A and B are shown apart, each in its own frame.
Chain A
Amino acid sequence: MILRPQVQDIKIVGQYSGRIILGLGLLMLIPLLVAVCFGETAAALDFVIGASFCLSAGYVLIILCFTRKELTWKHGMVVVSLSWLLAMFFGAIPLYLSRHWASFLDACFDAMSGFATTGLTLVQDLDHLSHAHNMWRHLTMYIGGQGIMIVALTFLIRGAGSALPIYIGEARDEKVLPNVVQTARFIWLVSLVYLLMGTLALSFTAFSCGMPGPKSFLHGLWVAMAAWDTGGFAPQSQNILYYHNFTFELITISLMLLGSLNFRLHYALWAGKRKEIFRNIETVSFFISAMLLFSLTAWGLTCGGVYPGALSLFRKGFYQVISAHTGTGYMTIHPQQFVRHWSSLSLMGVTLCMAIGAGACSTAGGIKILRIGIIFRTLLQDIKRTMLPRSAVVMDKIHHIKDVVLGEKVIRQVALITLAYIFLYLLGTLVGISLGYPLRLALFESVSAGANVGLSCGITQPSMPAVLKLTYIFQMWAGRLEFVSVFALLGTVIALVRGR
C-alpha cells in the first residue's frame, strides 16, 4: 500500500523549496549589479523582474508552508530534485526576457544546462548578449557546480539534522569532513580559491593577448567559473576558439582537471598528502582512461590526416578529450567539425570520455571514474577467483583516500548507478534516432547531455524538436542528481495521486 504524503510533508517540502527560490532571487542581484555598472538598463530590468518574481514566489511558499519541523531523509530527497526544477524555471525568467532565447522552453533548457553544468545552449546571437545575462549564465554554472543545495546549506539552512539528506540527495555520497555544513563550507573555500586563481590567470592572459582591460577581467572570470565547475558556457559563440591562444587553452585544461577532482582528494592535497594523487584509484583510473581514449581519438585523427602536427593534435584532439573526460564541454573546434572532419573512431573516443566522466564528489558528471575503476577491479577479482581453488577467500581493496574493502554492497550500488546512466544515455539516443538523427550523432549528443558535458556535434540548436529539448532537460537533471532524488520525487508524485 502506498501512503499519500500528509499536509505536514508538503509544508516541509514547500518551506525548504521556498528558501531555495528566495536564495536564487538574491543571487540575481549580482547580474543586476553588473548591468548597472555597464549601463545595460534594458538588461537590468530583466533582472529586477526575475529577482522580484523569485523573492515573491519564495515568500509565498514560505508563508503558506510555514513550519518549524526539520527535514527527514524522504523530504530532503524531494526538496533537492524539486528545487532543481524550480531553479530551472525561475532561473530561465531573465534569460527569456532578454529575447535571445526563442521560447521559454529554450530559456529553461539553458537554465538547466547551466545549473547542471552541462554547457549545451540554445541561445541565439550570443555575441550580442549583455554582460549581465552572460554573468547570470556563468553564475548558474558556478552555483550548480558546487550544488544548489550546497549554497543553501552554507547560507540558508540551519541545523545539521536537515543537512545530510539534502547533501546526499545532490549526488554527493562522500563527506569531506564529519559535519555536512563544514563540508559545504570547505567546498566553497576550495571553489573560491581556484576561482580567484583561475580568474587572475585567464584575465591576465586575455589582456596580454589583446583584449581590453575590463572585458578581459569579465571573460577571465566567466571562463574560470565554467572551467572550474566543468560547465562549458563561454561568452562568445566560438567558445574557447574565440581567443586563438595556446596559453588560455592550457589554463582552462588545468582548471578543468582541478574541477574534476574529488573534493575529498582536494582536502587530502590541502592537508599535505601529495602522494595521494599518485595512489588514489580515481586519479590512477582517470590517467589510464584519458591516455587510452586520447590514443584512440588521436589514431582516428591521424589516420584521417585532420591535423598537421603534434601541437595541433594536442590543441584539438587532447583538448577535446580532456574537456569531454572532465565533463566540461569547452571546445577549440567548431561543432560541425566533429561531424565533417573527425572520423567515427575519434568521435567514439570522445563519446566514451563523456560517458565515463571524472571524479565522484566533484563538479563533474557522467558515470564517474571511481565507479569505472571499481568495476574493473571487480572484473579482475572475478577472473582471479576462477583461477583459484573454490575454498580460497579473495579480498580486494581499493585506495581512495584510505584503503577500502570492496564489498558486495558497494559493487551492487556501483553497478546499479552505472546501469542507470547507460539507460539514460540510451533514452536520449533513441529519441534522437526516432527524430531522424544519425545514430553516432544522436549517441554523442545524448551522452553529452546525460553526462553533463556540453560538447555538441550540432544537434543542439533552437530549431531542434521540442521533444528532444525536453528529453535533454530530463537527462541533464537526472544525470546531475544521479537518479536517487529524482526517483524520490517521482515516487512522491505517484503517492500523491495513488496513495491512501
Chain B
Amino acid sequence: MKKIIFFILILLSTANAYAAPAVSSEELFKEAEKYDGETVIYKGEVIGDIMVREGFAWLNVRDKSDAIGVFCPKDMAGGIKYKGGYGFTGDTVSVWGVFHRSCPEHGGDTDIHAEKIIIIQEGQAIYHPLEAGKVKASIILPAIALGLAIIYLIVRRFR
C-alpha cells in the first residue's frame, strides 16, 4: 500500500511539473535568483546545431526574446529532427530541467540541465519565394551596370 501511495505521489508531482506553465527566457533572466537551481519548463525553437560532446549534447533553444543553452544526455536530443536556420524552422520543444543562473559546471553559463525534452511541434522547411520585383531588378540592374562600364571604357579612352 505504501508503495502505491508513494508511486501516486511521485506521479502527481511529476504531472504537476509538466502541468506548470512554461517560463519564458525573459522571466528567467528577470527572476534569475528565484529560479536558480529550480526545475523549470522552458519552451522554444531549437536553433543552430545540436553539438554532441562525450555522451552529452548542447542545444540552444530560443523563445520570443532570447535563446538559452540546454545541456542534456546525447540520447535525449536524438529525437530532434529540425534545427532552426535559414532553410528550416527548428522543432519546438518543451524542456523540463534545472535552471542555473551561473552554472558551476559550465564556466558560469546561464543554462538549463534538461531532464526531459518533449517535441511539441515538428519544424519544417522554410520556403523563400523569389519575388517578381527582385527578379526583374536582377535582370535590369546588371544590364545597366554593364552598359555604364562600356561607356566608362569609351570615356577613358577618348579623354
Q: Which residues of A contact B (CB under 8 A)?
A: 25, 40-43, 45-46, 48-49, 51-53, 55-56, 59-60, 62-63, 66, 68, 97, 127-131, 209-212, 215, 236-238, 241-244, 246, 306-309, 311-316, 332-334, 336-337, 340-341
Contacts and interface: CB of A to CB of B under 8 A. Distances in A.
A387 B141 CA distance: 72
Nearest to A206: B51
B125 interface: no
Contacts of A43: 86, 128
Interface stretch (B8-16, B91-99, B113-121, B144-152): B144-152
Interface residues of B, number: 51
Contacts of B130: 41-42, 45
A238 B70 CA distance: 13
B99 to A, nearest CB: 13
24 contacts: A43-B128, A49-B141, A52-B144, A53-B141, A55-B148, A66-B156, A66-B159, A127-B62, A210-B52, A210-B57, A215-B49, A236-B48, A236-B60, A238-B60, A244-B71, A244-B109, A244-B111, A308-B102, A311-B107, A314-B107, A315-B107, A316-B102, A316-B108, A333-B110
A210 B108 contact: no
Nearest to A68: B159
Given A210-B51, A238-B67, 20 more contacts: A41-B128, A43-B128, A45-B130, A45-B135, A52-B145, A55-B148, A56-B145, A59-B149, A63-B155, A236-B47, A236-B48, A236-B67, A237-B62, A243-B51, A308-B104, A315-B108, A316-B102, A336-B29, A336-B66, A340-B30
Nearest to A317: B108
A313 B30 CA distance: 21
A309 B141 contact: no
B50 interface: yes
Given A45-B134, A334-B110, A59 B145 contact: yes
Nearest to A210: B51
A410 B84 CA distance: 54
B134 A63 contact: no
A307 B111 CA distance: 13
Interface string B52-78: 110001101010001101010000000
Main secondary structure of the interface of A (DSSP, over half): helix
Contacts of A311: 107-108
Nearest to A62: B152
A51 B137 CA distance: 11
Contacts of A341: 32, 101
B2 interface: no
A170 B107 CA distance: 40
Given A127-B85, A306-B102, A56 B48 contact: no
Contact of B29 (A25, A209, A212, A334): A334
A285 B110 CA distance: 33
A43 B109 CA distance: 34
B48 A127 contact: yes
Contacts of B3: none
Contact of A244 (B29, B58, B66, B86): B58
Contact of B67 (A127, A243, A307, A336): A127
Identify the interface centre among A25, A48, A212: most chain B CB within 10 Å of its CB. A48
Contacts of A52: 137-138, 141-142, 144-145
A271 B110 CA distance: 44
Interface in B24-39: 29-30, 32
Given A128-B85, A242-B48, A313-B108, A210 B53 contact: yes
Identify the interface centre among A41, A63, A337: most chain B CB within 10 Å of its CB. A63
A128 B67 contact: no
A340 B108 contact: no
Nearest to A44: B138
B62 A48 contact: no
Contacts of A131: 86
A95 B89 CA distance: 21
A41 B53 CA distance: 34
Contacts of A315: 107-108
Nearest to A313: B108
Nearest to A132: B86
Contacts of A130: 86
Contact of A56 (B49, B66, B101, B144): B144
A306 B144 CA distance: 59
Contacts of B48: 127, 236, 242
Nearest to B140: A52
B126 interface: yes
B152 A59 contact: yes
B86 A49 contact: no
Contact of B86 (A48, A60, A128, A236): A128
B104 to A, nearest CB: 4
A60 B151 CA distance: 9
Given A316-B102, A334-B66, A42 B129 contact: yes
Given A56-B141, A66-B159, A211 B67 contact: no
B20 to A, nearest CB: 23
Contact of A59 (B51, B84, B151): B151
A52 B134 CA distance: 12
CB-CB nearest 4 A-B residue pairs:
A312-B108, A210-B51, A52-B141, A59-B148
Identify the interface centre among A215, A241, A244, A337: most chain B CB within 10 Å of its CB. A244
A395 B106 CA distance: 52
B60 to A, nearest CB: 6
Contacts of A211: 49, 51
B51 A209 contact: yes
Nearest to A64: B155
A331 B89 CA distance: 25
A41 B84 CA distance: 18
A193 B57 CA distance: 33
Contacts of B85: 127-128
A127 B138 CA distance: 26
Contacts of A242: 48, 60, 67, 69
